[in-house]
Amino acid sequence: MTTIKSRLTILIATILLTACGQNTAQSATKATAATQSTPTTEQQSNSEVVAALQNNLAKSEVGIKPIAAYATAMPDIFWVNFDDAPAMFTDKTGSYLIQGQIVKLGQPDIQDIGADAIANIAKQSLANIDSSEMIIYPAKGKKQAAVYVFTDPTCSYCQKLHKEIEQITAGGIEVRYLAWPRAERDIPLVESIWCSTDRKAALTAAKQGQTINSTTCDNPVKRHKSLGLQLGVSGTPAIFTESGRQIGGYLPASELIKAATSN
């Protein structure tokens, strides 16, 4: 019989291996609705909640480590970042883990409280990434906005998005790629891209199915992967604006430009 503990382990593993197809335009629609709410999450992590949750996880022999807990718009519910595990919700006593979407009703614009929590964390975390760690495609002409894109070269939707990079940058959008290999087997390929002397050429070639050979180097791939998990990334591409809002999933170039400039 499958135990709750083993189901939790399977859940975490499943989220880590989510196919890129999950982040499609449908995901973007949900994210767009969430952008209509006003962020209310406190940016200061609650150390007492982290300690309580860690204690309960240890008692239940669940091997994941919480690193931060942020208050949400729902009373006594916190958004928790873990070390190398997907972000989830917990209560103020750290006795429960909740995986999924929590929305606040009562107004015409439904508020996704998880989106609020992620946006506050993402805005600061993404801004702190050194430009040398990213593969950047500058906007052509006047820059209107920038987006951060967690990408996996083996993902079909990432490949589709990359084919439209010229249209996106021509629309005044700077694209900042971060590494997010969906599975362990993808890590060597992604690290080879980030260790290449010409990262852009290597990324394009990899997304066309070509083999990439590169020497090993000190690279940010695992840091990017960990950050993505903390921000709730479960598939690729995962697109964030400079405000920290996740606007997709794959979006056609015209829709991406519109979403990037309005968030």
pLDDT given for residue 28 in this prediction: 38
pLDDT in tens, 160-187: 999 999 999 999 999 999 999 999 999 9
Domain interval for residue 53:
47-114
Same domain, 107 and 192: no
Query: Three-class SS string for the chain?
Result: CCCHHHHHHHHHHHHHCCCHHHCCHHHHHHHHHHCCCCCCCCCCCCHHHHHHHHHHHHHCCCCCEEEEEEECCCCCEEEEEEECEEEEEEECCCCCEECCCCEECCCCCCEEHHHHHHHHHHHHHHHCCCHHHCEEECCCCCCCEEEEEEECCCCHHHHHHHHCHHHHHHCCEEEEEEECCCCHHHHHHHHHHHCCCCHHHHHHHHHCCCCCCCCCCCCCHHHHHHHHHHCCCCCCCEEEECCCCEEECCCCHHHHHHHHHHC
136 and 256 share one domain: yes
| Shared domain check, 233 and 142 | yes
Which domain-ending residue is among 85, 114, 143? 114
Choosing from 114, 140, 168, the residue where a domain stops is: 114
Question: Are residue 138 and residue 228 in the same domain, yes or no?
Answer: yes
Domain stops at, among 71, 86, 114:
114
**Whole-prediction pTM:** 0.78
Tell whether the model's pLDDT for residue 89 goes beyond 60. Answer: yes
Residues 145 and 236 in one domain: yes
- Find the Cα–Cα–Cα–Cα dihedral 189, 191, 194, 197, rounded to 10°: -80
CATH number at residue 59: 3.10.450
Closest CA to 148 of 178, 128, 125: 178
User: Given its phi and psi angles, is residue 94 left (phi above 0), alpha (psi -120 to 50 degrees) or beta?
Assistant: left
Asked whether the CA dihedral 140, 143, 144, 146 is positive or negative, the reply is positive
Residue 107 lies in a domain: yes
Same domain for 138 and 213: yes
pLDDT-based confidence at residue 234 (cuts at 50, 70, 90): confident
Asked whether residue 102 carries a pLDDT value surpassing 50, the answer given is yes
Q: Is 69 left (phi over 0), alpha (psi -120 to 50) or beta?
A: beta
Q: Are residues 65 and 102 in the same domain?
A: yes
Whether residue 86 is contained in a domain is answered as yes
Residue 53: closest CA among 100, 91, 15, 22: 91
Clarify whether residues 108 and 144 are in a common domain: no
55 and 152 fall within a common domain:
no
Q: What is the predicted pLDDT for the residue at 215?
A: 80
pLDDT confidence tier of residue 138, bands split at 50, 70 and 90 = very high
What's the CATH number where 241 sits? 3.40.30.10
Tokens matching residue 201: 């050429």
* Residue 170 sits in the same domain as residue 252: yes
Q: Give me the number of domains the chain comprises.
A: 2
* Domain presence at residue 13: no
Q: Are 232 and 246 in contact (CB under 8 A)?
A: yes
Could you tell me if 158 and 69 lie in one domain? Answer: no
DSSP lists the bridge partners of residue 177 as: 135, 149
Residue 14 included in any domain: no
Cβ-Cβ contacts under 8 Å for 81 (sequence gap 6 or more): 66, 67, 68, 69, 87, 121, 229, 230
17-65 pLDDT tens trace: 444 645 443 343 333 333 333 333 346 899 999 999 999 999 999 999 9
95 and 145 in one domain? no
Residue 124, in any domain of the structure:
no
Asked if the model's pLDDT at residue 132 lies above 50, the reply is yes
CA dihedral 235, 73, 262, 168 (to 10 degrees): -10
Q: Give the confidence band of 194 by pLDDT, cuts at 50, 70, 90.
A: very high
The reply to whether 100 falls in a domain is yes
For residue 122, being part of any structural domain is answered with no
Residue 39 counted as domain residue: no
Mean pLDDT throughout 90-106? 92
